[in-house]
């Protein structure tokens, strides 16, 4: 008789043999509910000890029905599709996988940025029509000597800073939970968000979606930016007020945007972002490589098993739940989650 049950709600991967093997080896039962009708999945989740999810919205209403659940692990870094406040109130740990795709996301960010700066897609489209012309339209500008602003200096922001070494760019970052010592070690100047907007030629977003970061890029912050700025977002769509960005692109205030993430996903077929001449897009795939996907599936299953067998996860998105569970002292936070603790302390101070 298995000692615990882990339900996977949906995934979209070719195989979940990896998760099954990890759960079963630890003495648990693994159920993949992807092909089941939603009411049946919910019924299974009501009696699950651990739940694995990818894109599904895990709302307060659903959480209220998870009677045995100890842990919800989201496949990925961001946990904005899980109501973490409701999970905390219910004493449920929200796990996630914070460092499985730093190489992929930073490489993808460079791909979008460089495609914008060198107008790769525009040139390709013109060449497909038979054209061959150096002075083919809008001028291109040199990268060296310009300033790039990283909003968020966590795992991916730091990965960006490391890869930016040698590019000849001045690198700024804004992150209220990072100290200047860490920034200095990465050759990054730590500045406030407004100063970053005012001074950067290129702005790249690497913050989580939180109430205070929703629409961080809005009419006000766009107004602080240099005319002709390039904005890249591989973090979360709702960090940008996309309607306002569209107007800023059409008015030339923003020269180019490179977007992997959108406020509405999947992007509707008739979305203006699909055909804008000064936008380079991808379909929320910055995280993906065969290697990162395998790592993601393995770590998510291991985290669920850790909690279901009485341990604590290596990373969690709601560290405050451990106080509620009386397990605060047991937990040794990794560098990955320390900023979340600083954010919580800040909120308590401000409250
Ligand atoms: N497109 C993709 O496929 C993909 C893949 C992985 C991660 N992501 C997204 O990338 C983003 C960054 O991921 P990460 O792994 O670096 O996360 P992380 O938790 O390691 O770092 C986030 C950083 O943001 C900082 N931060 C928090 N609030 C801030 C604010 N108001 N202003 C400035 N900085 C703030 C934190 O201090 C932290 O250093 C997340 O939104 C994540 O969901 C996207």
pLDDT 10s digits, 162-214: 999 999 999 999 999 999 999 999 999 999 999 999 999 999 999 999 999 99
Beta-bridge mates of residue 230 = 202, 256
Q: Ligand 1 centre from 70 Cα, in Å?
A: 25
Question: What are the Cα distances from residue 31, in Å, to 16, 27, 47, 52, 286?
Answer: 10, 13, 12, 10, 28
Q: What does the alpha-carbon distance between residue 62 and residue 69 come to, in Å, rounded to a whole number?
A: 11
Q: Which of 135-149, 228-242, 272-286, 302-316 has the lowest average pLDDT?
A: 135-149
Q: What is the pLDDT of residue 136?
A: 66
Mean pLDDT of the chain: 95
- What span, in angstroms and rounded, lies between the C-alpha atoms of 349 and 180? 21
Q: Exposure of 36 by Cβ count < 10 A (0-12 exposed, 13-18 middle, 19+ buried)?
A: middle
For residue 182, what is the enclosing H or E element? helix 180-185
Distance CA 187, CA 80 (A): 31
pLDDT by residue (tens digit) across 237-294?
999 999 999 999 999 999 999 999 999 999 999 999 999 999 999 999 999 999 999 9
| pLDDT band with cut points at 50, 70 and 90 for residue 74 | very high
Band of residue 342 on the pLDDT scale cut at 50, 70, 90: confident
The predicted pLDDT at position 351 comes to: 53
**pTM recorded for the entire structure:** 0.93
Q: Whose CA is nearest to atom 30 of ligand 1?
A: 175
Structure tokens at 31: 């159920």
Please give the Cα distance from 50 to 73 (Å, whole number): 8
Residues within 6 Å of ligand 1 by CB: 77-78, 98, 101, 105, 151-157, 174-178, 206-210, 212-213, 234-236, 260-261, 284, 286-287, 339
- Answer yes or no: is pLDDT of 66 > 70: yes
Query: How many A from CA of 249 to the centre of ligand 1?
Result: 25
Q: How far is the CA of 26 from the centre of ligand 1 (A)?
A: 32
Best mutation site among 180, 235, 236, 284 for ligand 1 pocket (most ligand atoms within 8 Å of CB): 235
């Amino acid at each position: 008789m298995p000692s615990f049950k882990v339900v996977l709600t949906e995934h979209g991967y070719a195989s979940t043999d990896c998760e099954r093997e990890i759960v079963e080896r630890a003495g648990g039962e693994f159920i993949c509910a992807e092909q089941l009708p939603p009411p049946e999945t919910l019924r299974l989740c009501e009696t699950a000890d651990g739940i694995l999810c990818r894109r599904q919205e895990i709302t307060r209403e659903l959480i209220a029905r998870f009677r045995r659940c100890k842990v919800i692990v989201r496949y990925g870094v961001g946990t904005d599709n899980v109501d973490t406040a409701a999970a905390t109130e219910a004493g449920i740990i929200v796990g996630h996988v914070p460092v499985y795709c730093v190489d992929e996301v930073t490489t993808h960010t460079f791909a979008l940025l460089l495609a914008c700066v060198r107008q790769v897609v525009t040139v390709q489209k013109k060449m497909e029509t038979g054209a061959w012309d150096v002075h083919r339209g809008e001028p291109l500008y040199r990268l060296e000597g310009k300033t790039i602003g990283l909003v968020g200096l966590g795992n991916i922001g730091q990965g960006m800073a490391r890869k930016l070494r040698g590019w000849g760019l001045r690198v700024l970052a804004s992150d209220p939970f990072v100290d200047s010592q860490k920034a200095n070690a990465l050759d990054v100047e730590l500045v406030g968000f407004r100063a970053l907007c005012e001074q950067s030629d290129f702005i790249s977003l690497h913050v989580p979606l939180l109430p205070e970061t929703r629409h961080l890029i809005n009419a006000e912050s766009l107004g602080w930016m240099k005319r002709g700025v390039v904005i890249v977002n591989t973090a979360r769509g709702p960090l940008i007020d996309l309607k306002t960005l569209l107007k800023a692109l059409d008015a030339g205030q923003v020269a180019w945007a490179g977007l992997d993430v959108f406020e509405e996903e999947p992007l509707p077929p008739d979305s203006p972002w699909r055909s804008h001449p000064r936008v380079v897009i991808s379909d929320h795939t910055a995280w993906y490589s065969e290697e990162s996907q395998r790592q993601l599936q393995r770590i998510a299953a291991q985290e669920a098993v850790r909690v279901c067998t009485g341990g604590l996860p290596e990373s969690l998105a709601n560290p405050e739940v451990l106080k509620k569970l009386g397990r605060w002292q047991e937990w040794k936070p990794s560098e990955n989650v320390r900023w979340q603790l600083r954010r919580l302390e800040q909120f308590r101070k401000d409250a």
